[in-house]
């Protein structure tokens, strides 16, 4: 099988993307920190962050309605179905991203309230 250059670049990007650091992971100044205690506190803060409501459902519904309406204006019933499906998927993904961002903020604020110097 012959790979074209853009195929190799795409595969490398996907593979290397998995190695990137999690931007939502809290980074602390470790100076004078008991790391075992930090890990315990981080886990507790992550449990608190689970209280953040999932936003994927509402984002999916909103996306489906908006793109469905656009499809209704500019196309037939098949276009409406396709546009609504695309809106559902993209809206759901956007909602998941918002949920993860909000949870990350909760974890970082929780760690700050426990006395850690969160750098990001």
Task: Write out pLDDT tens, residues 21-80.
Answer: 577 899 999 999 999 999 999 999 999 998 887 654 555 556 556 555 565 566 666 665
Report field, pTM of the whole predicted structure over 0.85: no
Rg (CA), the chain: 21
Backbone angles phi, psi at 91, to 5 degrees: -65, -40
* Cβ-based neighbours of 32, under 8 Å, separated by 6 or more: none
* Cβ-based neighbours of 106, under 8 Å, separated by 6 or more: 45, 48, 49, 51, 52
Domain ranges of the chain: 25-113
């Amino acid at each position: 099988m012959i790979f074209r250059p853009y195929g190799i670049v795409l595969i490398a990007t996907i593979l290397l993307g998995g190695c990137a650091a999690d931007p939502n992971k809290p980074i602390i100044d470790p100076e004078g920190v008991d790391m075992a205690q930090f890990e315990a506190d981080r886990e507790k803060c992550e449990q608190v962050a689970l209280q953040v409501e999932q936003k994927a459902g509402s984002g999916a519904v909103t996306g489906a309605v908006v793109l469905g309406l656009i499809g209704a204006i500019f196309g037939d019933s098949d276009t409406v179905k396709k546009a609504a499906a695309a809106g559902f998927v993209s809206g759901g993904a956007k909602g998941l991203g918002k949920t993860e961002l909000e949870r990350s903020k909760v974890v970082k604020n929780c760690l700050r309230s426990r006395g850690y110097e969160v750098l990001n």
